[in-house]
């Protein structure tokens, strides 16, 4: 990887993480794969906003997308594009764990998973 490409990837990752909801999404995905409707419920923002944030995180190489029929599921990148991205994802596992907003968002996950939002959403159409 050339220095120029490495610098561009670093800047893309830093830009992706400058938005608080995207950091929250990464923190949520540290707990496992989620669909858009689960992330939407945890953050309390629109599906369109969640999808836009996920697209930015995917382009930065922080998040992977897996299609399952009409549904999209997201998880942290299994193989980050660069050592810099891998290092940031590794460090982010420990950063902000005590932050009240992060803790509140993560605390919603068990209830959201129990409600099985994807199954309920199937009657209204796909979410990605």
In order of start, what are the domains of the chain with their CATH numbers?
Answer: 3-120 (1.10.10.10)
**Percentage of residues in the chain having pLDDT higher than 70:** 90
Count of other CB atoms within 10 angstroms of residue 31:
13
Residue 62 has pLDDT above 90, yes or no: yes
- pLDDT value at residue 119: 60
- pLDDT value at residue 5: 76
DSSP 93: T
Answer yes or no: are the C-beta atoms of 34 and 74 closer than 8 Å: yes
- pLDDT value at residue 104: 95
Beta strands in the chain (DSSP E): 34-35, 63-68, 71-76
For residues 118 and 52, what is the distance between their CA atoms, to the nearest angstrom? 19
Structure tokens at 100: 């009240």
pTM: 0.85
* Mean confidence (pLDDT) of the chain: 87
């Amino acid at each position: 990887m050339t220095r120029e490409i490495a610098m561009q990837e670093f800047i893309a990752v830093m830009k992706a993480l400058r938005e608080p909801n995207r950091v929250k999404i990464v923190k949520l995905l540290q707990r496992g794969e989620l669909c858009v409707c689960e992330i939407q419920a945890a953050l309390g923002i629109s599906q369109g906003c969640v999808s836009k944030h996920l697209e930015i995180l995917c382009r930065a190489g922080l998040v992977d997308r897996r299609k399952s029929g009409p549904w999209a599921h997201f998880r942290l990148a299994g193989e980050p594009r660069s050592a810099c991205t891998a290092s940031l994802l590794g460090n982010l596992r420990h950063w902000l764990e005590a932050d009240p907003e992060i803790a509140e968002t993560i605390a919603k996950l068990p209830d959201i998973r129990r409600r099985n939002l994807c199954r309920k959403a199937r009657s209204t159409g796909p979410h990605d």
